[in-house]
Structure 1
């Protein structure tokens, strides 16, 4: 995890902690690529809750993330039946609006997470990527992978075992685990500035008001009624384990 949409990681974690508080532990973490069915399949293969580990990116952020230009806020996600479902009202997910090619983004993705503990307090955990394998392919992690569903494979070490990634915080993943986002709304420069200002100097109440204002700008046309029951039943290294 690192700079995204021109926003520093410290401010992102701060507002995600407010999101967690407002959602009784539930928060969404935006990611740039699809995990497909890997997260769901991995969760079904274990008896305990699946963990997601958040690690600060060790490499320099890309220019397009530092200076993204236009910024989207995402309002909905697509369920397994293809229905458009509004995100919970307390959730705010932003991303740059354009791809590196210059075309507008048509989709984005997010991890569905829950934590009873405060985010960003730090841990003593470290991740050694050389000890991990991609869950579905059993192949070593690629150099450009930022988010991956992995399994422990210390018996099949490959790569640099001295390079470790510090883990800032840990959460559990909630069904449906990872989602494809849709229904984006372009934020005005004033809105983007408001996100930065409230994240830097506001509080959870200020943040709640801002999220309500930003999310109310777009009302999806075709909606499936949202309840938390949907989730119960139906960049570094961010690893869902």
Structure 2
């Protein structure tokens, strides 16, 4: 997918702000996301520090899209820390469930963000539908990069696949154990992290970010 900084219809990409080496706040309290983002940022001279390490509060996610929620998290972290901040808002969209849980993916796990519970809720909803119902789904990842002066760049990635049950694998996080990407046999929960990083929704968004800001 293209973000606002990508060329559309063959147009040249717009000139955007570059990110210099140094400290960057990862505006997330999700250790799985922080771990993946650290790995993806490793080669670029960035020193990632998480919002949790800086004791920054988690903002209420009041946006109605992945991009809106990513922007509000990145802007708050940049404002409070005085550093550039990168936020990820991502989730699972199940086509037969009108693209739910979508932006509410973490909240389907309750206050404890229990993804075993969240995956069971998805499966129960699908099981209540006719047997021939499609199990197609996709992950979306919106990345927002904000500076303390309020400037924001955003990028959105996607990966399509199918949901399986029961969940398989103990790698990854979130809904990974029930998601098989198109063209693959393993779930994200079974896949080696490096293999997932090469083709996930987050990797897609990161490829766009890297091409634009580094």
> What TM-score does the superposition give when structure 1 sets the normalisation length?
0.26
Higher relative contact order (CA 8 A, sep 6+): 1
Determine which structure has the larger strand proportion and give its number.
Answer: 1
> What TM-score does the superposition give when structure 2 sets the normalisation length?
0.29
